[in-house]
Amino acid sequence: MAWYRANARDLPWRRTTDPYQIWVSEIMLQQTRVAAVLGYYARFLETFPTVEALAAAPEERLMKLWEGLGYYSRARNLQKAARIVAEQGGRFPDTYQDLLALPGVGDYTASAIASAAFGRREAAVDGNVLRVVMRLTDCRDDIADPKVKKAVRAQIQAVMPEAEADIRVFNQATMELGATVCAPNGPPRCLECPAMAFCKGRLRGTAEDLPVKGAKKPAGWRRRRCSCWCGTERSPCGSGRGPGCWRACGSFPTWREPWTRLPPERRCPSGAWSPGGGRAD
């Protein structure tokens, strides 16, 4: 924790214990780098300074503000959760279990908010923390296994401090160590690490090989047909009508009719467009 106090990055969500601001930051940071979030975070809070303001916002305005950040379901879940909190008088849930009940809030996010905003003794385990623990203990268990993550959480929970102020620092310190020193890309900077004297991964020369992560299941292909009009008239481009993962994105009208059933004059090679019809893979 002394290392964190001397070396931590100055990030806006670390300067507050406001649960709304911390919650917004944690949702934005899901699958997104800190550098990409900073500008969005400031604009978001300027536009929606309270949970009530977010709850009452038109969805179109919310999605426009989120544009470019990706994973748009996060924004929709933010607003769903904001409406639940607003209906409770604007009082944010202050326990892990109650936070977990909010849309879009999972195990890590609930723990992070509970500890950072309320000083609850909840271990927040993200990818950075898993990497640090696996290298410290020279553990070769697959971090993609939920049982492994659960075990790591229990390990950290057992050594967490008791004081509220220290709890907030402890979780942030572990995550910061993984993000900046025990980093995922390239070799870990072991000589800068406050844990280097007792890190089994460093002492045994295995740190660069850890953590072990099983192969992801290949993503499936989704094929859709779309149609656009080329000319002076505006194309019927819709917003929020795309299927599945394209929901809330601008899109041309789509359908599932097999390509071979289109008349020959309306077919075009993959990747090309033709007036009155086209192909999108």
What CA–CA distances, in Å, run from 176 to 20, 26, 79, 172, 251?
21, 14, 28, 6, 39
Q: Which of 94, 122, 150 is the last residue of a domain?
A: 122
pLDDT confidence of residue 132: 97
Q: Which of 103, 122, 141 is the last residue of a domain?
A: 122
pLDDT confidence of residue 202: 96
- Measured CA to CA, the distance from residue 2 to residue 15 in angstroms comes to 17
Residues annotated as catalytic are 26
Q: Which of 76, 91, 122 is the last residue of a domain?
A: 122
User: What pTM value is reported for the model?
Assistant: 0.79
Q: Answer yes or no: are the C-beta atoms of 223 and 255 closer than 8 Å.
A: no
- Measured CA to CA, the distance from residue 28 to residue 145 in angstroms comes to 24
Series of mean pLDDT values for 10-residue runs along the chain (281 residues): 95 97 97 95 98 97 96 96 96 96 97 97 96 97 96 96 94 96 91 96 95 77 59 51 54 54 49 36 35
- Asked, for residue 230, whether it belongs to a domain, the answer is yes
- Asked, for residue 213, whether it belongs to a domain, the answer is no
